[in-house]
Amino acid sequence: MVYFAWLFVIIGLFVIISGIIALYRFLDFYTKLHGASVIDCCGIPFCLFGLALMQDSYLNSFKLIAIIALIILLNPTAAHALARASVLFKVDKDGRVK
């Protein structure tokens, strides 16, 4: 069970590092937003699920899984709201308001 937990943590860290590289590599505001949302929506839940598998207490595991559910539900909404606001305020590729 511990090996599966570490596997989830390592996969999550790989996704987080890939997202960080995307933030530095991508030039457009919207693709950077995509990279940042991948970190939150995919990387952090994998790491937290691995930590939930490592816990001895079921209560701590339940709390971590509840946090994962909140992240999965709220992060796409926040990323969509940010992208929609940037479209409404006519943000250019560099992230500046026109």
The answer to whether the CB of 74 falls within 8 A of the CB of 40 is no
The percent of residues in the chain predicted with pLDDT above 90, rounded, is 65
pLDDT reported for residue 90: 84
Supply the angle between the helices 2-25 and 29-38 in degrees, to the nearest 10.
170
Give the three-class secondary structure for 86: helix
Query: Is residue 87 predicted with pLDDT exceeding 80?
Result: yes
Check pLDDT > 80 for residue 95. no
Enter the pTM of the model: 0.85
- Return mean pLDDT, the chain: 91
- DSSP string for 5-51: HHHHHHHHHHHHHHHHHHHHH--SHHHHHHHHHHIIIIIHHHHHHHH
